[in-house]
């Protein structure tokens, strides 16, 4: 039986895939083993595969995404054989581009697509929030690859090993909890951290206002009909 993802439920599956990825990231951090990191990378491919499926109606996006996904898989395989910083940075750059493009497409579908407020649109808003946390986590481990002293409280090491703790740190910063167990130690790192905190607050305000506006507009349209 083939699972068919319709346009009316595509963001539901994306949100589910992101939650699975975050769980696999937590498992990777808990186990701190090679197989745990392999599961996490499998989670990346799962999320990106679901993402490509959700944009299949846009042929150029679908083909471009599949191409980027293939390049990411190739770079990942090569990085297992050759442990070069350049390969790890290339992986992070590809992830950043794919997550960023996916967040933008979901944002457009949530706020700029005609139709009523439904569960798919609401879960799309959740998926964007999760993607923002992942995007900043990628940025943080990228900074750490270039400057290992950029953060206090981090174990350091290759990005696959430090990614789980920076996913945690990213969502703590995005929600402005700020536990303080990990903290930025350089001006650039501090800039990126407080930029995420600002964006987290702006996102909630913009998204709530946008969804309320869409709901009001839809009611007015229905009454006029």
**H-only helix segments in the chain:** 10-31, 34-54, 59-81, 85-111, 119-146, 159-174, 187-224
- The tokens 């290339």 sit on which residue? 90
pLDDT of residue 192: 95
Q: How many C-beta neighbours within 10 Å does residue 211 have?
A: 16
What is each CA distance from 184 to 15, 88, 166, in whole angstroms? 29, 21, 11
pLDDT of residue 225: 58
φ and ψ at residue 184, rounded to 5 degrees: -70, 145
Q: Using CA atoms, how far apart are residues 202 and 107, in angstroms rounded to an integer?
A: 14
183: three-class secondary structure by DSSP:
strand
The encoded tokens of residue 131 equal: 């993607």
Cα–Cα nearest to 121, from 15, 1, 3: 15
pLDDT of residue 3: 38
This prediction's pTM: 0.84
Output the tens digit of pLDDT for each of the chain's 225 residues. Answer: 333 444 556 788 888 888 888 888 888 888 877 777 777 777 777 777 777 777 666 676 677 777 777 777 777 677 666 666 677 788 888 888 888 888 888 888 888 887 788 888 899 999 999 999 999 999 999 999 888 889 998 877 778 788 989 999 999 999 988 788 899 999 999 999 999 999 999 998 999 888 888 888 777 776 665
Q: Using CA atoms, how far apart are residues 24 and 37, in angstroms rounded to an integer?
A: 9
pLDDT of residue 154: 81
Which class does domain 10-224 fall in?
Answer: mainly alpha
Q: Where are the domains of the chain?
A: 10-224
């Amino acid at each position: 039986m083939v699972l068919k993802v319709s346009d009316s439920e595509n963001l539901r599956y994306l949100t589910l895939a992101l939650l699975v990825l975050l769980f696999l990231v937590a498992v990777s951090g808990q186990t701190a083993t090679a197989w745990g990191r392999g599961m996490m990378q499998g989670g990346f491919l799962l999320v990106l595969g679901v993402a490509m499926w959700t944009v299949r109606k846009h042929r150029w996006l679908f083909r471009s995404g599949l191409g980027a996904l293939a390049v990411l898989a190739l770079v990942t395989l090569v990085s297992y054989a050759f442990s070069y910083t350049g390969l790890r940075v290339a992986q992070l750059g590809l992830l950043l581009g794919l997550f960023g493009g996916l967040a933008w497409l979901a944002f457009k579908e949530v706020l700029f697509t005609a139709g009523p407020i439904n569960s798919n649109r609401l879960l799309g808003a959740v998926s964007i929030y999760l993607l923002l946390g992942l995007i900043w986590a990628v940025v943080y481990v990228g900074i750490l690859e270039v400057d290992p002293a950029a953060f206090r409280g981090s174990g350091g090491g290759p990005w696959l090993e430090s990614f789980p703790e920076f996913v945690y740190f990213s969502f703590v910063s995005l929600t402005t909890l700020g536990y303080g167990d990990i903290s930025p130690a350089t001006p650039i790192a501090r800039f990126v951290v407080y930029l995420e905190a600002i964006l987290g607050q702006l996102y909630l305000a913009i998204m709530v206002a946008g969804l309320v506006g869409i709901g009001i507009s839809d009611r007015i349209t229905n009454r006029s009909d």
